[in-house]
Structure 1
Amino acid sequence: MKAFVDQDTCIGCGLCCGMCDAVFRMNDGGKAEAYQAAAEENQSDVQSAIDSCPVSAIRWED
């Protein structure tokens, strides 16, 4: 599964990167991005990042 970070909503807090650095990283613009699809073993970490995002900028992408 792939996560998506809305660049217009993201505030660059880095919480998702700290929760799952295998999927999220900070880009050159200071915003988080999902640079890799979630593997089965880290899908729960991605879901935790989605649930914890203070501005609800992350979602699962079809």
Structure 2
Amino acid sequence: MSAVRPVHIAIDTGRCIGAGQCALTAPDVFTQGDSGFSEVLPGREHGNGNPLVREAAQACPVAAIAVRLR
């Protein structure tokens, strides 16, 4: 069994175009705010072990999501 490694998720709000692919891929971590741009849900900045976080970052058409190991 592999251990879940904590990550830090950041969205480059200057790059985000609000495509919403992250929210569609990992809706328990990402949402689209009132502005229409992607946001990390409160308390989910570390991904909570969700294996779809990296997939959501890769789905972003403008590479606005960074997922880094902590």
TM over 0.5: yes
> Once the 2 structures are TM-superposed, how far is the Cα of residue 2 of structure 1 from its aligned partner?
2.6
CA RMSD in angstroms, aligned pairs only: 1.3
Structure 2 counterpart of 1:31, which letter? F
Aligned to 1:39: 48
Q: Give the helix-richer structure, 1 or 2.
A: 1
> What runs of 5+ residues in structure 1 fail to find an aligned partner?
none
Identity among equivalent positions (%) equals 32
User: Rg larger in 1 or in 2?
Assistant: 2
The answer as to 2:27 corresponding to 1:21 is: yes
Structure 1-normalised TM-score?
A: 0.84
Between the aligned partners of 1:18 and 1:47, the Cα distance in structure 2 is 13
> What runs of 5+ residues in structure 2 fail to find an aligned partner?
1-6
Between the aligned partners of 1:13 and 1:58, the Cα distance in structure 2 is 12
Q: Deviation above 3 Å: which 4+ runs of structure 1?
A: none
